[in-house]
Structure 1
Amino acid sequence: MNASQIRRLDSRTPDFLATLDALLAFESGTDSQIENAVTDILAAVRTVGDPAVIDYTCRFDRLDVNHMSALELPRHALDDALATLPEAQRAALEVAASRVEAYHRRQIAESWDYTEADGTRLGQIVTPLDRVGLYVPGGRASYPSSVLMNAIPAKVAGVGELIMVVPTPDGERNPLVLAAAAITGVDRVFTIGGAQAVAALAYGTQTIPQVDKIVGPGNAYVASAKRRVFGTVGIDMVAGPSEVLVISDGSGNPDWVAMDLFAQAEHDDLAQSILLCTDADFIDAVAASIAKLLPEMPRRQTIATSLANRGALIKVSDLDEACTIANRIAPEHLELSLENAEDWISKIRHAGAIFVGHWSVEALGDYCAGPNHVLPTMRSARFSSPLGVYDFQKRTSLIQVSEAGAQTLGPIAATLADGEGLQAHAASARYRVKA
C-alpha cells in the first residue's frame, strides 16, 4: 500500500471538522433484500417453530437433519472439545476466562433500602435475568473470545440459564468456541444461526425456550433480526464496524502504532483506524511503517481498503486539542500512546475503552486483559457503556409506605394528581389519609 493512499488531515485547515465528521459518518443502512428475508424468517419461526428452524438451517448451512435433537449439542461435546484442545490453547482460554471473571465480579450490583423516620421503607431490588441467549458466529468466522466476554458476565450476574446458538455451516464445528462454552458454563448449545436462531431465542419454539435477552455479534441478517425482535426481548446493541483511535505525542514506536491501526482495519473493509498526533515527523514515520509492514499481513487487502476508505493520519496542534477531537469521535477503542499517558485520562469523556501507555495494546483488551470487549461503536460511547454484569441484572423499585408516611405523602400525591386531571389517582391517595 502506498502511503499516499492513506488520508492525511491537519486540524488547522478551515474545513477540518466538516471533513472529520464526513469521515466518521457511517450509515448502517438497510438492504431491502435482507430486510424482506428477515421479516419472512421471523414470521415463519414465530408461527411454526422447530420445523421452520430446521428448514432454514438445512437450507443456509447445508445440513441434512430432520429433528431439533440433531441440532443440540450434548454436554459431552463441549467437554470433549475442551479436553482435546492443544495445551497452549486450553491454558490461554482458562487464563483469559479467569481474568474476565475477576474483573466482572467487581461489577455486581447489590440490592439496597433505607427507612425514613416515619417508618416508610424505600429501596431497590437487584435480580438477574432468568434466561439469556448468546449468539456466536460459526464456521470460519469463529470467536471464542466472544463466548468469554458475553457468557462470563451473564454467569457472574446469576443468569438462570444461558443458551448459546452457533451455526455450523457444512457441519464445521470450531473446537475453541465449544471449549469456551464448556469453560464458561453455558447451559445449552444449539448449532443454528442467522435470523432463524434469533427468532427461536426471541419467540421460543417447541424445543428452544424463549429468552429474556439476546447478546452477541452476527452478520447483517443477525443484526437486522435483533433490531426487529427488540421489545419482545432485550438486546445488547446493534454494533457497527470496529474502531480504534490512537493519540500520539511522537514518543512511541511507529511500527507499533502502524500495527495497532492494522489490528482494527483487518476486521473488515468498514473498520476505522485513526491516528491523532502532535508530531508531523512521527506521522511520516507511521506512514512509512504502514507501507513497510502491510505486505507482510495475510489480510493486507482488507487492511488496505479499510485504511484507504475510513482511516486517517491527523496532525493536531497539541494534546489538549487531540483530546477534544477524541471526545468528538467517541471511539470504541482509544489508545493513549503518550509519554505521560496517565496525565491525560481525565481529559477523555467519551470512549468505550481507554488503553493507557505504549504497552497497553488494544489487542490485549480483546482477549485477556479482563474488561469486556463488547463496546459501543458509531459514536455511541457518548451515551452507552461496555457490556457488563449490569446488562444481565435488572432493578426493581421497592416502596413500603407506613401508615404515618401515607398521611404525609397522600395529600402531596393527591394535589399533583388533581393538577394532571387524574381524579382516581387523587382519590386513591386520599383514601389512605385519615380524616
Structure 2
Amino acid sequence: MRTIDLRGQSLAPADMLAAVPRAAQARAEALEAAVRIVDAVRTDGEAALRDQAERFDHVSGHAIRVPAAHIAEAADAVDPAVRAALEEAIARVRQGSAAQVPTGRTTQIGPGARITQRWQPVARAGVYIPGGKAPLSSSVVMNVVPAQVAGVTNIALASPPQADHDGRIHPTILAAASLLGIDEVYAMGGAGAIGALAYGVPALALDPVDVVSGPGNNYVASAKRAVAGVVGTDSEAGATEILVVADAAADPRLIAADLISQAEHDEQASAVLVTDSAELAERVASEVAALAASAVHTDRVAAALDGPQSAIILVDDRAMAEAFSNAYAPEHLELHLADAADAAEHFTSAGAIFVGDQTPVSLGDYMAGSNHVLPTGGQARYAAGLGAYTFLRAQQIIEYDHAALERVRAGVIALANAEVLPAHGDAVEARFVEAPRSL
C-alpha cells in the first residue's frame, strides 16, 4: 500500500478526496454498459437474459426461473453449521431491522382538522444477490429480512447462474432463500437481472417489482441508476470500501487483517487507513504486506491494495482525521481509537460505523444484526444503507370537516389568487355555495 503524507497542509474536502481517488472512469464505463444491458432486457426479455448468461456467466440452457425442487434440494444439502449460522443471522437482522419501522402518528392541526402519517410497504420487491467472486448467502438475509419486516409479502430474488453448478444458482444462496420462505427465484445476474426485475419478463412470469435492492459490482450499481424512476432502488452499493481511523495505541495486526478482509472482495475494493501516527502507519504497512502474501485470494488482494483507491494517509491530528473521513464518506468506517465510543459522534458520514477494535467490518457482514448493504462511492454523505425503510413509503392522510375548512377558506383563496390559480380557490368556495335545486 502506498503512503500519502497530508501533514502540514490546509486542505479543503475536495483536496482530500483527490488524494485517494475512486475509480470514476471505471464507473462511467460501467454505466454506459449497464444502460445497454438493461435496454436489451427491456426489449428482448428472456432472449437477452440467455445471451448475457452465456457471455458473462458461461452458462446456457439453464432454468432461469428456478424450480421449487432445486430450492428444496439446496435446503436439504446445506452444511448444518452454515444453516445454523444463517438462522442466527436471520434472527439478529430481524431484530435490528424492527427498530427501523416508524410508527404512525396523527397530528391534530386544529378542531376538525387532522393529518395522519403512516408508512406503507411496497407491494413487491426484487432483491439481487451477487454470486460471482463470492456467493453472498449473507446478502439474502440482509435484503429479504428488512423487506419482510417492512411488511412486503411479494419478494422475488435474483442471483447469477453458476457454471460450476450446472447453471443453477449457488446452493447456499438457494438454501438461504428457502430458510426465509422465498420461492420466486431467478437465475440471472448483473445489470441484466436489475433490468429484468425493474421491467419484468412476461415469458418467465416475472412481474415488475416496485423496489430493487442488493449489492453488486459497478455494473449492478450502474444498472440501478439506469432504472431509477422506473422503480425505487436502495443506494448504489458498488465495490466495497473500508476506512480505518486509528491512533498510536491501535493494534497494527488487527488493522491489517481488517483492510485485507475487504480487499479480498474485489480488485476495485478500497482499503484506506487514516492515522496521525507515522510509526503505526509503518507497522500496518508491514503487517499488510505479510498478510496479503498469504491470503487465499492473494492476487485479488494485491490488486486492490496496490490500486489508486487504497492508501495509508498520514494526518496532523484527530481533527484532520475526522475531516478526511467525513469528506470521503466511506461505506465502512472503523474507529481504532482509545476513546472510540466518544469519538464516534464526530464521524458523521459513513454507511456504517464500527466502534473499537473488537468490532470488525466482517462482524457487520454476517452477525452484528446491522445491514451490510451500504452506500459506496461517497454516497454516505446523503444516502443510508439498506433497511426496512427502503421498502416503506410515507403517506399523509388529510381529513378536515366543514368547519375546519371554513377556518382556512380565506387563506386558500388568497394564495390561489396570488399564484393565478383561481380554480384552486373555486374548489374550496364550492363547498360553501348551496347547490341549486333541480326542478
Same fold flag (TM > 0.5): yes
Q: Distance in 2 between matches of 1:115 and 1:164?
A: 42
Asked if the contact 1:242–1:271 (Cα under 8 Å) also holds between the matched residues in 2, the reply is yes
Match of 1:240 in 2: 238
Match of 2:437 in 1: none
Query: Would the alpha carbon gap of residues 413 and 164 (structure 1) be closer, same or farther in structure 2, given more than 3 Å must change?
Result: same
Asked if the contact 1:341–1:357 (Cα under 8 Å) also holds between the matched residues in 2, the reply is yes
Match of 1:279 in 2: 277
Match of 1:374 in 2: 373
After superposition, give the CA deviation of every residue in 1:246-277 in whole Å (9 maximum; x if it has no partner).
11122222111111111222222322222222
Query: Would the alpha carbon gap of residues 17 and 235 (structure 1) be closer, same or farther in structure 2, given more than 3 Å must change?
Result: closer
Matched, 1:255 2:257: no
Match of 1:328 in 2: 327
Q: Distance in 2 between matches of 1:13 and 1:341?
A: 25
Match of 1:186 in 2: 182
Match of 1:81 in 2: 74
Asked if the contact 2:131–2:170 (Cα under 8 Å) also holds between the matched residues in 1, the reply is yes
Aligned-partner SS, 2:320: helix
Query: Would the alpha carbon gap of residues 52 and 8 (structure 1) be closer, same or farther in structure 2, given more than 3 Å must change?
Result: closer
Query: Within 5 A, what are the aligned runs for 1:324-403?
Result: 324-403=323-402
Asked if the contact 2:168–2:187 (Cα under 8 Å) also holds between the matched residues in 1, the reply is no
Query: Would the alpha carbon gap of residues 15 and 179 (structure 1) be closer, same or farther in structure 2, given more than 3 Å must change?
Result: same
Match of 2:171 in 1: 175
Ranges in structure 1 where 5+ consecutive residues have no aligned partner: none
Query: Would the alpha carbon gap of residues 138 and 322 (structure 1) be closer, same or farther in structure 2, given more than 3 Å must change?
Result: closer
Asked if the contact 1:246–1:334 (Cα under 8 Å) also holds between the matched residues in 2, the reply is yes
Aligned-partner SS, 1:400: strand
Query: Would the alpha carbon gap of residues 110 and 168 (structure 1) be closer, same or farther in structure 2, given more than 3 Å must change?
Result: same
Q: Equivalent of 1:268, from 266, 269, 280?
A: 266
Q: Distance in 2 between matches of 1:202 and 1:268?
A: 26
After superposition, give the CA deviation of every residue in 1:265-294 in whole Å (9 maximum; x if it has no partner).
222232222222232222222122122222
Q: Distance in 2 between matches of 1:312 and 1:37?
A: 29
Q: What one-letter code is carried by the residue in structure 2 that aligns with 1:330?
A: A
Asked if the contact 2:235–2:384 (Cα under 8 Å) also holds between the matched residues in 1, the reply is no
Asked if the contact 1:11–1:314 (Cα under 8 Å) also holds between the matched residues in 2, the reply is no
Query: Would the alpha carbon gap of residues 38 and 307 (structure 1) be closer, same or farther in structure 2, given more than 3 Å must change?
Result: closer
After superposition, give the CA deviation of every residue in 1:129-187 in whole Å (9 maximum; x if it has no partner).
11111112235532111111111100111112110111214315312111111122223
Q: Distance in 2 between matches of 1:394 and 1:120?
A: 23
Q: Distance in 2 between matches of 1:338 and 1:267?
A: 26
Q: Equivalent of 1:105, from 77, 80, 98?
A: 98
Q: Distance in 2 between matches of 1:405 and 1:297?
A: 70
Query: Would the alpha carbon gap of residues 19 and 400 (structure 1) be closer, same or farther in structure 2, given more than 3 Å must change?
Result: closer
Q: Which range moves more in the overlay, 54-63 or 402-411?
A: 54-63
Asked if the contact 1:139–1:168 (Cα under 8 Å) also holds between the matched residues in 2, the reply is no
Ranges in structure 2 where 5+ consecutive residues have no aligned partner: 435-439
Q: Equivalent of 1:231, from 226, 229, 232?
A: 229
Query: Would the alpha carbon gap of residues 41 and 347 (structure 1) be closer, same or farther in structure 2, given more than 3 Å must change?
Result: closer
Q: CA deviation at 1:400?
A: 0.6
Match of 1:199 in 2: 195
Taking structure 2 as the reference length, what is the TM-score of the superposition?
0.89
After superposition, give the CA deviation of every residue in 1:215-250 in whole Å (9 maximum; x if it has no partner).
113344433432222111111122333211111122
Match of 2:206 in 1: 208
Q: Which range moves more in the overlay, 331-340 or 304-313?
A: 304-313
Q: How many residues align?
A: 428
Match of 1:135 in 2: 128
Query: Would the alpha carbon gap of residues 132 and 294 (structure 1) be closer, same or farther in structure 2, given more than 3 Å must change?
Result: same
Q: What one-letter code is carried by the residue in structure 2 that aligns with 1:163?
A: A
Asked if the contact 2:158–2:185 (Cα under 8 Å) also holds between the matched residues in 1, the reply is yes
Aligned-partner SS, 1:310: coil
Q: Distance in 2 between matches of 1:31 and 1:139?
A: 18
Query: Would the alpha carbon gap of residues 260 and 226 (structure 1) be closer, same or farther in structure 2, given more than 3 Å must change?
Result: same
Query: Would the alpha carbon gap of residues 57 and 379 (structure 1) be closer, same or farther in structure 2, given more than 3 Å must change?
Result: closer
Asked if the contact 1:115–1:122 (Cα under 8 Å) also holds between the matched residues in 2, the reply is yes
Asked if the contact 2:13–2:327 (Cα under 8 Å) also holds between the matched residues in 1, the reply is no
Q: What one-letter code is carried by the residue in structure 2 that aligns with 1:111?
A: G
Aligned-partner SS, 1:283: helix
Q: Which range moves more in the overlay, 50-59 or 352-361?
A: 50-59
Match of 1:93 in 2: 86
Aligned-partner SS, 2:226: helix
Asked if the contact 2:52–2:192 (Cα under 8 Å) also holds between the matched residues in 1, the reply is yes
Taking structure 1 as the reference length, what is the TM-score of the superposition?
0.90
Q: Distance in 2 between matches of 1:282 and 1:36?
A: 42
Q: What one-letter code is carried by the residue in structure 2 that aligns with 1:240?
A: G
Aligned-partner SS, 2:431: coil
Q: Equivalent of 1:154, from 144, 147, 151?
A: 147
Asked if the contact 2:216–2:238 (Cα under 8 Å) also holds between the matched residues in 1, the reply is no
Q: Which range moves more in the overlay, 236-245 or 416-425?
A: 236-245
Q: CA deviation at 1:196?
A: 3.3
Asked if the contact 2:57–2:161 (Cα under 8 Å) also holds between the matched residues in 1, the reply is yes
- Identity level (%): 37
Matched, 1:26 2:22: yes
Query: Would the alpha carbon gap of residues 293 and 82 (structure 1) be closer, same or farther in structure 2, given more than 3 Å must change?
Result: same
Asked if the contact 1:407–1:432 (Cα under 8 Å) also holds between the matched residues in 2, the reply is no
Q: Which range moves more in the overlay, 27-36 or 329-338?
A: 27-36
Q: Distance in 1 between matches of 2:26 and 2:290?
A: 37
Q: Which range moves more in the overlay, 207-216 or 270-279?
A: 270-279
Match of 1:409 in 2: 408
Q: What one-letter code is carried by the residue in structure 2 that aligns with 1:197?
A: A
Q: Which range moves more in the overlay, 365-374 or 45-54?
A: 45-54
Q: Distance in 2 between matches of 1:228 and 1:393?
A: 21
Q: Which range moves more in the overlay, 258-267 or 41-50?
A: 41-50
